[in-house]
Amino acid sequence: MSEPSLLLPQAITAIPAFLLWLSMALSIGISLAYACAHTITFLTQDIKWQTITAWTRSLLKWLLMGALGNLCLLAIPLAVNWLPFWKITPILSSLSILIPEIILVLTTILLAIRVWKGEKRMTPRAHLTTVWLLSLFVGLSLWIPVAVMAWMEYPQESWISFQDLSIVASHPWYIVFSALGILKFCLLITSSWVIGGGFLLIACLRNPCEKELAKRSAIIAISMVLIGGVLTLCIGDSTGYSIAGNQPMKMAAIQQLEKGQRKAPLVIAGPIQIPELLSRLATHSNNGFVPGMSDIINGEYTTANDTPAYSFYQKRTKASQAFYARRKDSTNISATWDMGKRYWGYLYLSCPEEGIPNTLPLFVAFRLMVGGGFLLLLFATIQIAGWIRTEIQERIWFKYAGTAIMPLALFCSLCGWYISLYGMHPWAITELLAVSSAISSLPLWVLGVEFLLVVGGCILWTIFIGKQLKSIIVPS
């Protein structure tokens, strides 16, 4: 498959996927702010908190509308560009995966309708409960998609089926409830609190309402940023440990580590290093061994289970032997097949270099993500000081710091997802399916038409939703 026909489908998919992720991240954050404001209103009956509750409810309404529109637009490239992927992974479209997701999405929609349309027919306590349930299910609606993406990174208990060469798992729960999937879901929720809190903070700084209302809204926003930021750092550490054990090539590529070592330092830039920190992050031990890219290709390290790792050529040989064993006897499953079915994806690769991702983008993205995270906490601290001491609020750098929190949180989260997905190269499903075999072979003119349709729809829908949000944040 040519380079344009490989990259363009990914780009067409990435644009609505990014907008869907952004609108859902903001929805998760603002739904929490709405629930908190509604709770304070319920407890105090304060008219000012009622204003803030109505304001956050209007924001949430249009953010969820934006997510729904982006989901519809994303369905086009997922169905058209990734048809081979869906054919080889029927387990992802099985009822055991689809039904829970459909239930979660429909429950979210019904709760949203109930919140906006049924307030007058419910008691205040029942309405408050419904608001908190909506906040919960807005996040839970992303559980299955995040779990599937985590499974694609680390397909635990999964292999190629002997009967039809599709990818199967020993049980769907290995997809839905994998340890990596749970970590990534928690990371999504906490980072969404930061993004949503930053968005609310921008709205507080831009909205020309009285200062007391802005201050009260900012209390919720800053609390979300700080709590979400600290939890994101903690969960991110656990996620990094999991990646180091189960996806060592990604960890080595992030650090541009050619040869493995013990007491490995974390390289900041050039000669600037933090001694032993990489070993601490990857193994939770200062003396831990972190394999490099050459160690992984040559199998010169031990896995997380303390067993010797296979080299690239050993995995490819096992896959080839399984392929020929099946072609020789397609009725009986042999031991040769069982040994090679887990490494079927190596049949798509011709040399070890194809299994190594481009390290420079990953190296830079990781450092931008970590550095941005610490800047985020600094800006949040400045905001706390500003809302406590009124005179600081008049300083121009106070407003810049507050306005920078959301784009900075968004940028850090985007870097994290970039590392997560691009670090899988060349795999669509690690060691089972290469990206080149997961994408439909379409003429360039078809891709061009699809690009105009999807991207044009994204632009128009984003402009429409943006105008609605702007009218709420900065009323005329």
- 108-111 CB contacts, 8 Å cutoff, 24+ apart: 108/134, 108/137, 108/138, 108/140, 108/141, 111/137
CA–CA gap between residue 176 and residue 146 (Å, rounded): 9
Q: What is the CA radius of gyration of the chain?
A: 24
9-17 mean pLDDT? 86
Q: Phi/psi at 281 (nearest 5 deg)?
A: -70, -40
Say how many C-beta atoms besides its own lie within 10 A of residue 334's C-beta: 15
Cβ(218)–Cβ(204) below 8 Å: yes
Across the chain, mean pLDDT equals 85
Band of residue 1 on the pLDDT scale cut at 50, 70, 90:
very low
Render the burial of 99-137: b for 16+ CB within 10 Å, e for the rest.
ebbeebbebbeebbebbeeeeeeeeeeebbebbbbbbbb
Structure tokens at 383: 């905001």
pLDDT (0 to 100) of residue 86: 92
Which residue type sits at 346?
Y
CA–CA gap between residue 31 and residue 64 (Å, rounded): 10
Cβ(34)–Cβ(199) below 8 Å: no
CA–CA gap between residue 260 and residue 252 (Å, rounded): 8
pLDDT (0 to 100) of residue 397: 62
Say how many C-beta atoms besides its own lie within 10 A of residue 428's C-beta: 23
Work out whether the CA dihedral 213, 215, 205, 365 comes out positive or negative. negative
Strand locations in 154-210 (E): 158-160, 167-169
pLDDT (0 to 100) of residue 247: 87
Band of residue 2 on the pLDDT scale cut at 50, 70, 90:
very low
CA–CA gap between residue 60 and residue 37 (Å, rounded): 13
Cβ(319)–Cβ(332) below 8 Å: no
Q: Quick one: DSSP state of residue 276?
A: T
pLDDT (0 to 100) of residue 393: 59
N residues, the chain: 476
CA–CA gap between residue 242 and residue 262 (Å, rounded): 18
CA–CA gap between residue 168 and residue 91 (Å, rounded): 6
> Any idea what the Cα angle at residue 427 is, between residues 423 and 429, rounded to 5°?
110
Q: What are the tens digits of pLDDT across the range 423-465?
A: 888 899 999 999 888 888 888 878 888 888 888 888 888 888 8
pTM (2 d.p.):
0.89
Q: Phi/psi at 307 (nearest 5 deg)?
A: -110, 150
Say how many C-beta atoms besides its own lie within 10 A of residue 182's C-beta: 17
Band of residue 172 on the pLDDT scale cut at 50, 70, 90:
confident
